[in-house]
Amino acid sequence: MIVGGIVLRTIGMTSVALTYDQLAKRLGIATDSARRLVNRKKWSRTRGNDQRAVIQVPAEFLARYEDGPGDDRQDGPQDRQGDCPEDNAPVVLTTRGDQSALNAVAALIAELRDQLSDLQAERVITLEAENRLLKQVNEDLKQEREDLKADRDTWREQAQHLALSVPPRRSWWPWRRTA
C-alpha cells in the first residue's frame, strides 16, 4: 500500500496478551519491574474486561525467557537498592537449633566493642598529649615574643644614644657658608 509517497507494509508479528502480574511471573521479576520494562519497550497496552491493563508482549521476546529468568549474573553498580519489594525485606537469621553461629556473632560483636573502646581510649590519650604539646608551643611562642620585644627596646635605646652622639651634619656644598 502506498500512502503519500511512503510505502507502508504490515509486519506480521505475533504477540501474547498478558497482565503486568502474569508478565512479571513469567519473567521472574517484580511487578514494578515489569511495568518499567513495558514502558521502556513501548509495548501496546489496552484494558481487559476486568479493567486491568493487558500488554501485547512480542512472542519472540518471551521465547528468550522460556526456561525462566536466567539471572545468574551478579548485581551491577547500576542496580538500585529498593527497586522491588524483595529488596526491602528484612534479613532473618535462622539457627535451626544450632546456637554456635549466634554465639560466634555475639563474640565478634563483643570483640569489636572492646576494640572500639580501646581505640577511643587511645584517641583520648593522644588528644590530651596533643593538647599539652600545643600549650607548650603556645608558651614558647609567648616567651619568644617577649624576648623579641626586649631586644627591640634594647636596640631602640642604642639607636637613640648613637643619634645623640653624632655631630650635626655639614652641608654637601663645601664652599657654602653656614650662618
CATH of the domain at 52: 1.10.1660.10
Name the residue range of residue 115's domain: 99-165
Residues 160 and 105 placed together within one structural domain of the fold: yes
Q: What is the pLDDT along the chain (179 residues), one digit of tens a residue?
A: 444 444 444 456 788 889 999 989 888 899 999 999 999 999 989 988 888 899 998 888 888 776 544 555 555 555 555 555 555 555 555 555 567 778 888 889 999 999 999 999 999 999 999 999 999 999 999 999 999 999 999 999 999 888 887 776 666 666 666 55
Torsion on CA atoms 159, 164, 166, 171, rounded to nearest 10: 110
In a domain, 17, yes or no: yes
What are the backbone angles phi and psi of residue 99, rounded to the nearest 5°?
Answer: -85, -5
pLDDT in the model for residue 128:
95
In a domain, 47, yes or no: yes
pLDDT in the model for residue 122:
94
Candidates 24, 22, 26; CA nearest to 85 is 24
Residues 112 and 158 placed together within one structural domain of the fold: yes
Integer Cα distance of 129 and 132 in angstroms? 5
In a domain, 178, yes or no: no
Q: What is this structure's pTM?
A: 0.34
pLDDT in the model for residue 102:
82
In a domain, 88, yes or no: no
How many domains, in total, are found in the chain?
Answer: 2
Residues 159 and 113 placed together within one structural domain of the fold: yes
- Return all residues near 7 (Cβ < 8 A) that are at least 6 apart: 1
In a domain, 120, yes or no: yes
pLDDT in the model for residue 59:
86
3-state secondary structure of 58: strand
In a domain, 92, yes or no: no
In a domain, 87, yes or no: no
In a domain, 176, yes or no: no
